[in-house]
Amino acid sequence: MSTKPSHNLVWDRSTECVPLEERRALQLKKLQDLVERVSVQSPFYRKQFQKKGVKPENIKTLDDLRRLPFTVKDDLRDNYPFELFSTPIQDVVRIHCSSGTTGKPAVSGYTARDMEMWSEIMARSLTAAGATYRDVVHNSYGYGLFTGGLGIDMGARKIGAATVPMSGGINNRQIMLMEDFGATVLTCTPSYALVLAETAAQMGVHVQSMIKLKVGIFGAEPWTEEMRAEIEAKLRLEAYDIFGMGEVIGPGVSMECAYHNGLHIQDDHFLPEIINPDTGESLPPGEQGELVITTLTKEAMPLIRYRTRDITRLAADLCPCGRTSARHFKLAGRTDDMLIIKGVNVFPSQIEGVLLRHGELAPQYVLVVDRVNNLDRLEIQVEAREEFYDLGEEAMEQFTHKLYHEMQQLLYISSKITIVPQRTIQRSEGKAKRVIDKRKELTSGALI
Ligand code: ADP
Ligand code: ZN
């Protein structure tokens, strides 16, 4: 956590720093309007409300949000493609959908007003990172159905920055253009930021003198504080965390400010709650659970109490930056990313935290989970830095032993540690694939 912020730019103080009471009053008004609106316009929510016996007039305070039914990811799939839309298709100006590697993707629609709201919250997000019209934004998030590329693009355009619409891939060219165009802001996944740092080193491009980056806006996948330190040191920039998801809007649901003490939720549009994922019960600020979001203003596809499956906790206090929005802390992971190994819950981010504390290791790893003789087995494959790997087998063995014990203490289970040479673990242009769960392959194989 930084106590001395590098800047304190705010895009729109009148909305972002509005007194808390006023913010809450506006939220309640918008929530009442939303419930009224979907009761009329959305056959899906009309049915859901009937089942729960809720009527618009039941929403008298913000706490009454809890009376409303949850929406889950399967509701999106079951109502594929447009059944969750609350507006007719002629009012929709954009359609995005998730990568959906299995089955039908989750679709999200936007009206012109939704697009305007998205641009606005992206302008807030870029400004929170200190970006202005003077900046050159090198945008390596993918353009296309994935919301990352276009989301950043709209915000950068709104603040008047020069945007380079790169998408991921062709790494050498990314470095060349960053250098030639004088990029000052880099936007991509944290894992791809590391790939770019590695590429610059391979090309002999000295980051400190040849690349002008000052800010990085990274998100779309979980990353630890240790990963932040690694990226900041390698790319010589200040790294900011941005969070979002296609179903809700895309990137910009929440974003860090220069205090780096949690991500500000744009809660004049996205009302957050934290719930116990097993019971659905609401949890107070400070307690970790599943993030649930209600889109207060979205027109084309409003979502009521959408269960994100992301695990985090809310801050109880206000941020010194002056914004009065709620904040959530860095995500611990997703309920569906959580591995259950020998009955123990393990988040990949816990393992990442330990690995990256060791200077001997490079920040590239993959977790392979398998079942052998009916017993779960976790293998942690991690790259050693070249200088360390060159020390030879004995040094490697001693280190592996030490790491094994550290992991055992952290996870309460034993794992196999495999140290591999640098640049052997597969890199990704977008979200990194950190887990290979062979147990799932076994089950699906058995079904065929
Ligand atoms: P999907 O990955 O489900 O196809 P998205 O591309 O919209 O859909 O990704 C949204 C998900 O990405 C979030 O629910 C969250 O799990 C993850 N994510 C996005 N931003 C962050 C972030 N800053 N930190 C951690 N996880 C993130
Ligand atoms: Zn702040």
**Which ligand is in closest contact with the Cα of 325?**
2
* Mean predicted confidence (pLDDT) in 314-332: 97
Using a 10 angstrom Cβ sphere, with 0-12 exposed, 13-18 middle and 19 or more buried, the burial of residue 405 is exposed
Average pLDDT of the segment spanning 168-187: 97
Average pLDDT over residues 120-145: 98
Q: How many angstroms does the Cα of residue 148 sit away from the middle of ligand 1?
A: 10
- Is the pTM for the entire model greater than 0.85? yes
Q: Which long-range contacts (CB under 8 A, 24 or more apart) does 73-79 make?
A: 73/106, 73/247, 73/307, 73/309, 75/44, 76/106, 76/107, 76/247, 77/103, 77/104, 77/106, 79/44
Angstrom CA distances, 156 to 10, 138, 164, 205, 234, stand at 15, 10, 10, 26, 24
Residue 101 is predicted with a pLDDT of: 60
Q: Are 282 and 273 in contact (CB under 8 A)?
A: yes
How many domains is the chain built from? 2
Q: Which of 305, 333, 361 is the last residue of a domain?
A: 333
Note whether 144 and 173 are same-domain residues.
Answer: yes
Q: Which residues pair with 54 in a beta bridge?
A: none
Distance from the alpha carbon of residue 245 to the mean position of ligand 1, in angstroms: 5
pLDDT at residue 445 tops 80: no
Percentage, residues of the chain above pLDDT 90: 91
319 C-alpha to center of ligand 2: Å?
Answer: 5
pLDDT recorded at residue 335: 87
Confidence bin at 100 (pLDDT 50/70/90): low
- Distance between CA atoms of 62 and 7, rounded to whole angstroms? 33
Assess whether 30 and 154 both reside in one domain: yes
The number of the ligand 1 atom at minimal distance from the alpha carbon of 246 is 7
- Say whether pLDDT at 232 is over 90: yes
- Residue 234, pLDDT above cutoff 70: yes
Minimum CA distance residue for ligand 1 atom 12: 220
Same-domain pairing of 300 and 378: no
Mutation to probe ligand 1, out of 221, 260, 433 (largest number of atoms < 8 A from CB): 221
DSSP 105: P
Last residue of a domain, one of 333, 364, 393: 333
Residues contacting ligand 1 via CB (< 6 Å): 98-99, 146-147, 219-222, 241-246, 308, 310, 331, 334
The protein residue whose alpha carbon is closest to atom 9 in ligand 1 is: 245
Q: Are residues 240 and 300 in the same domain?
A: yes
Q: Which residues, in sequence order, are CB contacts of 226 under 8 Å at separation 6+? A: 352, 353, 355, 356, 357, 363
Phi, psi of 282 (to 5 degrees): -70, 140
Whether residue 39 is found in the same domain as residue 109: yes
Do 134 and 74 lie in one domain? The reply is: yes
Find the length of the chain: 448
Please report the pLDDT score of residue 446 as a whole number.
Answer: 36
Write the pLDDT tens digit of every residue in 255-313: 999 999 999 999 999 999 999 999 999 999 999 999 999 999 999 999 999 999 999 99
Q: Which atom of ligand 1 is nearest the CA belonging to 100?
A: 4
Same domain, 37 and 160: yes
| β pairing state of 162-165 and 136-139 | parallel
Residue 177: CB atoms within 10 Å: 16
CB neighbour list of residue 118: distance below 8 Å, 6 or more residues apart:
110, 151, 154, 249, 250, 252
Alpha carbon 40 to chain centroid distance? 33
Q: Quote the DSSP letter at residue 71.
A: B
Of 282, 303, 333, the domain-final residue: 333
Are 54 and 67 in contact by the 8 Å Cβ rule? The answer is: yes
Pair 366, 302 in one domain: no
User: Which ligand has the shortest distance to the CA of 312?
Assistant: 1
| For residue 404, pLDDT beyond 70 | yes
∠ Cα 249 255 257 (to 5°): 155
Separation CA 138–CA 387 (nearest Å):
31
% residues pLDDT > 70 (the chain): 97
Tell me: pLDDT of 102 over 90. no
Q: What share of the chain is helix, strand, coil (3-state, %, to 5)?
A: 35, 25, 40
Sign of the alpha-carbon dihedral angle for 127, 129, 130, 136:
negative
Q: Which atom of ligand 1 is closest in space to residue 308's alpha carbon?
A: 14
- Looking at residues 349-366, what average pLDDT do you find? 95
Name residue 291's beta-bridge partners. Answer: 274
CATH code, 231:
3.40.50.12780
Distance CA 51, CA 234 (A): 54
pLDDT in tens, 415-424: 999 999 999 9
Residues 361, 392: one domain? yes
* Residue-number span of the structural domain to which 372 is assigned: 339-447
240 and 354 fall within a common domain: no
Taking 60 as the threshold, does the pLDDT of residue 190 lie above it? yes
Ligand number with the minimum distance to the CA of 257: 2
Closest listed ligand to the CA of 221:
1
Q: Is 96 in the same domain as 173?
A: yes
Q: CA angle at residue 284 from 278 to 286, to 5 degrees?
A: 100
CATH number at residue 373: 3.30.300.30
Contact 243, 255 (CB under 8 A): yes
- Digit-coded pLDDT (tens) for 2-45: 569 999 999 999 999 999 999 999 999 999 999 999 999 999 99
Pairing of strands 92-97, 107-111: antiparallel
Beta strands 185-188; 136-139: pairing state: parallel
Ligand 2 mean position to 320 CA, how many Å? 6
Give the span between the Cα atoms of 68 and 293, in whole angstroms. Answer: 12
Q: Which one of 77, 331, 347 would you pick to mutate in the ligand 1 pocket, going by the greatest count of ligand atoms within 8 A of its CB?
A: 331
Question: Is the CB of residue 249 less than 8 Å from the CB of residue 295?
Answer: yes
Domain match, 96 and 122 both: yes
pLDDT category, 383, cuts 50, 70, 90?
very high
Asked, as a colleague might, if the bond just before 363 is cis with ω within 30 of 0, I would say: no
